[in-house]
Chains A and B, each alone.
Chain A
Amino acid sequence: MTAFRAMLARELRLALRGGGDVLTLVLFFIITGAIVPFAVGPDRELLARIAPGMVWIAAFLAMLLGLDRLFRPDHEDGSLILLRQAELPLSAVIAAKLITHWLVTALPLIIASPFLAMLLAMDEATFWRMLVSLAVGTPALAAFGAVGAAVTVSIRRGGLIAPILIAPLSIPVLIFGTGSISASQSSAALLFLAALSLMATALAPFVAALAISSGED
Chain B
Amino acid sequence: MSIDTTPKPSWWNRIAHPGQFVAWTTPLLWPLTILTAILFVVGLWFAFFNSPEDYQMGDTVRIMYVHVPNAWLSQFVYGVMTVSALGTLVWRHPMADVSMKAAAPLGALFTALALFTGALWGRPTWGTFWEWDGRMTSTLVLLFIYLGIVALWRAFDDQLRAARVIAVFTLIGAVNIPIIKFSVDWWSTLHQPASVFRADGPTMPGSILTPLFVMFFAFTFLFITLQLKAMHTEVRRRRVMTLQRKAAQGSAA
Contact surface of A with B, Cβ cutoff 8 Å? 147, 151-152, 154-155, 157-158, 161, 164-165, 167-169, 171, 207, 210-211, 214-216
| Max chain A C-beta neighbours (<10 A), residue from B145, B169, B173 | B169
A152 touches B152 (CB 8 A): yes
Question: B161 — which chain A residues lie within 8 A by C-beta?
Answer: 154, 214-216
Q: How many residues of B contact A (CB 8 A)?
A: 21
Question: A147 — which chain B residues lie within 8 A by C-beta?
Answer: 169, 172
Decide yes or no: A158 and B155 within 8 Å by CB, A165-B148, A207-B172 being known contacts: yes
Judge if B34 is at the interface, Cβ distance under 8 Å: no
Known: A147-B172, A155-B156, A164-B148. 16 other contacts (CB 8 A): A151-B168, A152-B152, A152-B155, A154-B156, A154-B161, A155-B155, A161-B148, A161-B151, A161-B152, A165-B152, A168-B148, A214-B165, A214-B167, A214-B168, A215-B161, A215-B162
Closest to B141 in A: A168
Complex Cα–Cα for A102 and B198 (A): 45
Contact surface of B with A, Cβ cutoff 8 Å? 89, 141, 144-145, 147-148, 151-152, 155-156, 161-162, 164-169, 172-173, 176
Question: B156 — which chain A residues lie within 8 A by C-beta?
Answer: 154-155
Question: B166 — which chain A residues lie within 8 A by C-beta?
Answer: 151
Q: Chain A: interface secondary structure?
A: helix
> How near does chain A come to B72, taking the closest CB pair, in angstroms?
21
Instruction: Enumerate the 4 nearest inter-chain pairs by beta-carbon distance, A residue then B residue, closest first.
Output: A214-B164, A168-B144, A215-B165, A165-B148
Complex Cα–Cα for A124 and B173 (A): 38
Q: Which of B151, B164, B172, B173 contacts A164 (CB 8 A)?
A: B151
Q: Which of B89, B141, B164, B173 contacts A215 (CB 8 A)?
A: B164
Question: B144 — which chain A residues lie within 8 A by C-beta?
Answer: 164, 167-168
| Max chain A C-beta neighbours (<10 A), residue from B164, B165, B167, B172 | B165
Name 26 interchain pairs, CB-CB below 8 A, sorted by A: A151-B165, A151-B169, A152-B155, A155-B152, A155-B156, A158-B155, A161-B151, A164-B148, A165-B148, A165-B152, A167-B144, A168-B141, A168-B144, A168-B145, A168-B148, A169-B172, A169-B173, A210-B168, A211-B165, A214-B164, A214-B165, A214-B168, A215-B161, A215-B164, A215-B165, A216-B161
> How near does chain B come to A199, taking the closest CB pair, in angstroms?
10
Question: A158 — which chain B residues lie within 8 A by C-beta?
Answer: 155
A151 touches B152 (CB 8 A): yes
Complex Cα–Cα for A151 and B167 (A): 10
> How near does chain B come to A91, taking the closest CB pair, in angstroms?
13
Question: B162 — which chain A residues lie within 8 A by C-beta?
Answer: 215
> How near does chain A come to B217, taking the closest CB pair, in angstroms?
30
Complex Cα–Cα for A164 and B155 (A): 13
A171 touches B148 (CB 8 A): no
Closest to B147 in A: A164
> How near does chain B come to A176, taking the closest CB pair, in angstroms?
14
> How near does chain A come to B177, taking the closest CB pair, in angstroms?
13
| Max chain A C-beta neighbours (<10 A), residue from B141, B151, B161, B168 | B168
> How near does chain A come to B161, taking the closest CB pair, in angstroms?
6
Complex Cα–Cα for A188 and B208 (A): 42
Complex Cα–Cα for A64 and B145 (A): 17
Question: A215 — which chain B residues lie within 8 A by C-beta?
Answer: 161-162, 164-165
Q: Which of B141, B155, B172 contacts A171 (CB 8 A)?
A: B141
Complex Cα–Cα for A120 and B169 (A): 37
Question: B145 — which chain A residues lie within 8 A by C-beta?
Answer: 168
> How near does chain B come to A121, taking the closest CB pair, in angstroms?
25
Complex Cα–Cα for A171 and B164 (A): 25
Closest to B138 in A: A171
> How near does chain B come to A139, taking the closest CB pair, in angstroms?
17
Question: A207 — which chain B residues lie within 8 A by C-beta?
Answer: 168, 172
Complex Cα–Cα for A169 and B169 (A): 11
Question: B167 — which chain A residues lie within 8 A by C-beta?
Answer: 214
> How near does chain A come to B182, taking the closest CB pair, in angstroms?
14
| Max chain B C-beta neighbours (<10 A), residue from A155, A157, A207 | A155
Question: A155 — which chain B residues lie within 8 A by C-beta?
Answer: 152, 155-156
